């Protein structure tokens, strides 16, 4: 890249089963934040049957 962080205007995780990648999500978010200027909402689509209270609390802390 050109040495400066490019701006991202939208981040969305959805389709398929994003709940399957919850353990990898902190690393993905860290890589995005380290390489891009993110000043936007980050969306995550999940089916209610695929998530539990513990994972919801993790998501709250990661975002």
Instruction: Say if CB 55 and CB 19 are below 8 A apart.
Output: yes
Tens place of pLDDT per residue across the chain (63 aa): 567 889 999 999 887 666 678 888 899 999 999 999 998 999 988 888 888 999 899 888 888
DSSP 4-25: SPEEE--EEE-SS-GGGGTTTH
**pLDDT at position 1, please?**
53
**pLDDT at position 49, please?**
87
**pLDDT at position 39, please?**
87
Domain definitions of the chain by residue range: 6-62
How far apart CA 40 and CA 7 sit, in angstroms, is: 10
**pLDDT at position 16, please?**
66
pTM equals 0.73
């Amino acid at each position: 890249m050109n040495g400066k962080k490019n701006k991202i205007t939208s981040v969305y995780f959805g389709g398929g089963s994003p709940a399957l990648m919850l353990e990898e999500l902190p690393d993905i978010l860290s890589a995005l934040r380290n390489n891009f200027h993110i000043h936007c909402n980050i969306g995550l689509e999940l089916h209610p049957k695929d998530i539990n209270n513990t994972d919801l609390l993790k998501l709250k802390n990661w975002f």
